[in-house]
Amino acid sequence: MRTNDWYKYMSFYQIWIRSFKDGNGDGIGDLAGVYGKLEYIKSLGVDGIWFSPIYPSPNADFGYDISDYKDIHPDYGTLDDFKKVLNKAHRLGLKVIMDLVINHTSDEHPWFIESRKGKDNPYSDYYIWRDKPNNWESILEGNAWEYDEQRGQYYLHLFAKKQPDLNMDNPKVREEVKSILRFWLDMGVDGFREDVINFISKREGLPDGLPFLPVINGMPHYKDGPHIHEYLGEFRKVCEEYDCFQLGEGPMTTVRSAMNYLTGPTRSLDMMFSFDHMMADCLYTEYVHRPFDLRKYKSALSRWQYALAGKAWNALYIENHDHPRIISRYGSERLRRESGTSLAVSYLFLQGTPFIYQGQEIGMTNIRLKSIDDYVDVSSKTNYHKYNLKDTVERRLKRIHFSSRDSSRTPMQWNSSKYAGFSTHKPWFFVNPNYRRVNVASQEHDADSILNFYRKCLKIRRHSRTLIYGSYKEYFPDDKHIFMYERRLGDICYLVICSFSKFPVRVRIPHEFVGKKAKLVISNYHESSEDGHRIRKAAKAVLSSEVFSNDGMKDAIGKEWFAPYETRVYRFRF
Ligand code: GLC
Ligand code: CA
């Protein structure tokens, strides 16, 4: 039975196992590696782990092409190894959630192998077959239809060619999904992150999409499709028999459509990963780059914060296995520690459950490989070989340096020894050359490290009802350099200020805080720092009450200097 809201106070750590930690010395991350690092994960102050897929998979999309839903990839171990990890995690007080990928399988899944044999076998309607394809494009690999010689028809794949879409309209397929849910829930897992879950019901007749829109032209016909809530309702029923929670990934979801998943009679998810705030430097996908605009980041976050307030619960993240590293995008590699910590504060203290992706907590950054042939992510290959072909090789490669998901999939940097302590063997993929500087061991004992900063933030959040349950309000949404918001509950109010500027800036302080006594609960600069702008007391601060009358700002009269990417969180009692 669902006791319902234990996930609210929690935060989660995401493991992309192939690059997390190699336990048996073959260069590939695995469950033995995870087992040995559970104490580390616990030490961060998180309460749970989300495993990106660890099932058998030909790895056309690194685990998101599943060939057996009820087993473990031999590269990563066995079901028994998984049970050991699960039990130890539980002993440490960590929940474990699995990735549920049911929009598609691998083309090497036995269902597909059967299905492609012909139109009259028990699996023939497990997938979406047509004699004539429509004009949809896939998200990872060009055209969304692939001709299958054996069956003599086309099958739909919204992602890579090796990821045929399941036909969720077939009740037998939905029974299979329920059986997968039960399999893992009976074993004791605590919930699911449900992959591209808003895509699983396609509009009848599969009408053509817009002719000129690349990559997502068919989306209006498969996002939030006609039977989505009915199908998810069926899955929810199974999950409700257990004390588990469900988190949906909702590419391109709007707040409005998300509300149907999160509230009311069609409620089928506890949280949803949205993408809006990940498009502050790109358009729809990282394929189309534009300069980072803080106002886009802020307005996306605020939109979700306001809309869900009192009605639903946010899932907070700024990195995962699908996005390049956030410091390389929204921060500054030169001011890595400063921007990494300011970015951390910008989202960890929002309303919702925070997720931290492996390596984010030490400020890992993008990798820049010499040739497209060095990249392994299918979407990077597509981006390079299919779009903007008139660009020079240099420009195309630059695009990949900016956009590749491979940047978040390089081996975790544990220490400065060979292969970054990830393995004793040459790893399956390139280690970021900055590992000698950027690694867990070197940050472990540095009180000012990004790692220890994450620990402090998570601890502060975990111990504050205001930060977990309080209301949200943003200040100065038009400011190009500062993200400022408050969280308030009863007489306690936190004022969160993050600079996104490479230069010192003067920050306006809202009227009602000016001259009030406040406790500085955390900051990424302190007295001894050499920023040279200001020396101030780390423990207690009284906000400046200087009056500036010449700037025309009615609601802000106090001003404070903020160093590059400085962040401060104040706690007030009113
Ligand atoms: C999700 C996953 C991504 C994968 C895609 C197809 O967006 O996070 O890694 O490529 O779905 O399964
Ligand atoms: Ca291994």
To the query of whether residue 566 is one of the catalytic residues in this protein, the response is no
- Decide: 159 in ligand 1 pocket, CB within 6 A: yes
Q: Which residue has its alpha carbon closest to ligand 1 atom 4?
A: 64
Q: Are 404 and 523 within one domain?
A: no
**pLDDT tens string 77-110:** 999 999 999 999 999 999 999 999 999 999 999 9
161 domain residue, yes or no: no
Strand order in the sheet with 145-148: 129-130, 153-156, 145-148
CA of residue 429 to ligand 2 center, whole Å: 13
Q: How far apart are CA 396 and CA 25, in angstroms?
A: 35
- Decide: 64 in ligand 1 pocket, CB within 6 A: yes
Q: Are 230 and 341 within one domain?
A: yes
**pLDDT tens string 440-457:** 999 999 999 999 999 999
Point out the ligand 1 atom lying closest to the alpha carbon of residue 322.
9
Q: Give mean pLDDT, residues 509-525.
A: 89
Q: Give mean pLDDT, residues 192-216.
A: 94
295 domain residue, yes or no: yes
Q: Are 213 and 73 within one domain?
A: yes
Minimum mean pLDDT range among 51-55, 283-287, 496-500, 513-517:
283-287
What would the DSSP string read from start to end of 424-454? SS--SSPPPGGGGTS-HHHHHT-TTSHHHHH
Distant-in-sequence, close-in-space partners of 506: CB < 8 Å, separation ≥ 6: 559, 560, 561, 562
Which entry of 22, 65, 195, 270 is annotated as an active-site residue?
195
- Decide: 101 in ligand 1 pocket, CB within 6 A: yes
In percent, the amount of the chain with pLDDT more than 70 equals: 93
Identify the pLDDT of residue 212: 81
Q: Which domain holds residue 490?
A: 470-573
Distant-in-sequence, close-in-space partners of 463: CB < 8 Å, separation ≥ 6: none
Ligand 1 probe mutation, 159, 274, 380, most atoms within 8 A of CB: 159
Contact 102, 180 (CB under 8 A): yes
CA of residue 455 to ligand 1 center, whole Å: 28
Look at 518 and 226; give whichever has higher pLDDT.
226
Q: What are phi and psi of 491, to 5 degrees?
A: -95, 5
User: What average pLDDT does the chain have?
Assistant: 93
Q: How far apart are CA 524 and CA 349, in angstroms?
A: 15
H-run or E-run covering 114: helix 110-115
Per-residue confidence band for 186, with pLDDT thresholds at 50, 70 and 90 = very high
Identify the pLDDT of residue 369: 98
Identify the pLDDT of residue 552: 35
Q: Which residue has its alpha carbon closest to ligand 1 atom 8?
A: 322
Angle in degrees, CA 468, 471, 473, rounded to 5 = 125
Q: Are 342 and 224 within one domain?
A: yes
The domain that holds 146 is classified in CATH as 3.90.400.10
Distant-in-sequence, close-in-space partners of 314: CB < 8 Å, separation ≥ 6: 271, 304, 305, 308, 350, 351, 352, 353
Q: Which residue has its alpha carbon closest to ligand 1 atom 12?
A: 64
Contact 256, 14 (CB under 8 A): no
Q: Are 334 and 419 within one domain?
A: yes
Distant-in-sequence, close-in-space partners of 212: CB < 8 Å, separation ≥ 6: none
* Backbone Cα Rg of the chain: 24
Q: Give mean pLDDT, residues 300-306.
A: 98
Q: How far apart are CA 507 and CA 564, in angstroms?
A: 12
Tokens coding 546: 């200087």
Q: Are 348 and 375 within one domain?
A: yes
What number of other Cβ atoms are within 10 A of residue 475's Cβ? 19
392 domain residue, yes or no: yes
Q: Are 28 and 121 within one domain?
A: no
Q: Are 400 and 543 within one domain?
A: no
Per-residue confidence band for 1, with pLDDT thresholds at 50, 70 and 90 = low
| Distances from the Cα of 458 to the Cα of 9, 352, 356, 360, 395, angstroms | 10, 13, 10, 14, 40
Say how many domains are in the chain: 3
- Decide: 378 in ligand 1 pocket, CB within 6 A: no
The domain that holds 197 is classified in CATH as 3.20.20.80
**Nearest ligand to the C-alpha of residue 74?**
2
Q: Is the pTM value of this prediction over 0.75?
A: yes
Q: What are phi and psi of 345, to 5 degrees?
A: -65, -35
166 domain residue, yes or no: no
Q: Which residue has its alpha carbon closest to ligand 1 atom 9?
A: 322
The domain that holds 532 is classified in CATH as 2.60.40.1180
- Decide: 317 in ligand 1 pocket, CB within 6 A: no
163 domain residue, yes or no: no
Point out the domain boundary residue: 460, 487, 508. Answer: 460
86 domain residue, yes or no: yes
The answer to whether residue 184 scores a pLDDT higher than 80 is: yes
Q: How far apart are CA 389 and CA 392, in angstroms?
A: 8
477 domain residue, yes or no: yes
Q: Give mean pLDDT, residues 502-524.
A: 90
* Residue keyed to tokens 């200097």: 561
**pLDDT tens string 209-227:** 998 888 899 999 999 999 9
Minimum mean pLDDT range among 171-175, 203-207, 546-550:
546-550
CA of residue 174 to ligand 2 center, whole Å: 34
Ligand 1 probe mutation, 57, 59, 64, most atoms within 8 A of CB: 64
Q: Give mean pLDDT, residues 322-332.
A: 97
Q: Are 178 and 33 within one domain?
A: yes
Strand order in the sheet with 271-273: 271-273, 245-249, 191-194, 95-100, 48-51, 12-15, 353-357, 315-316
Q: Are 99 and 115 within one domain?
A: no
Point out the domain boundary residue: 424, 439, 460. Answer: 460
Query: Which residue stretches of 170-313 are H helix?
Result: 171-187, 228-240, 255-262, 294-308
Q: How far apart are CA 6 and CA 16, in angstroms?
A: 24
Q: How far apart are CA 343 and CA 277, in angstroms?
A: 12
The answer to whether residue 543 scores a pLDDT higher than 60 is: no
**pLDDT tens string 387-427:** 888 999 999 999 999 999 999 999 999 999 999 999 999 99
Per-residue confidence band for 2, with pLDDT thresholds at 50, 70 and 90 = low
CA of residue 115 to ligand 1 center, whole Å: 23
Which entry of 137, 249, 338, 377 is annotated as an active-site residue?
249
Contact 358, 16 (CB under 8 A): yes
- Decide: 15 in ligand 1 pocket, CB within 6 A: no
Q: Are 144 and 277 within one domain?
A: no
Point out the domain boundary residue: 460, 493, 519. Answer: 460
- Decide: 199 in ligand 1 pocket, CB within 6 A: no
Greatest extent of the chain over all pairs of C-alpha atoms, in Å: 80
Q: How far apart are CA 253 and CA 477, in angstroms?
A: 22
Packing angle, helices 336-348 and 294-308, rounded to 10: 20
Q: Are 239 and 387 within one domain?
A: yes
CA of residue 73 to ligand 2 center, whole Å: 11
Ligand 1 probe mutation, 61, 166, 284, most atoms within 8 A of CB: 61
162 domain residue, yes or no: no
Q: How far apart are CA 12 and CA 50, in angstroms?
A: 7
To the query of whether residue 249 is one of the catalytic residues in this protein, the response is yes
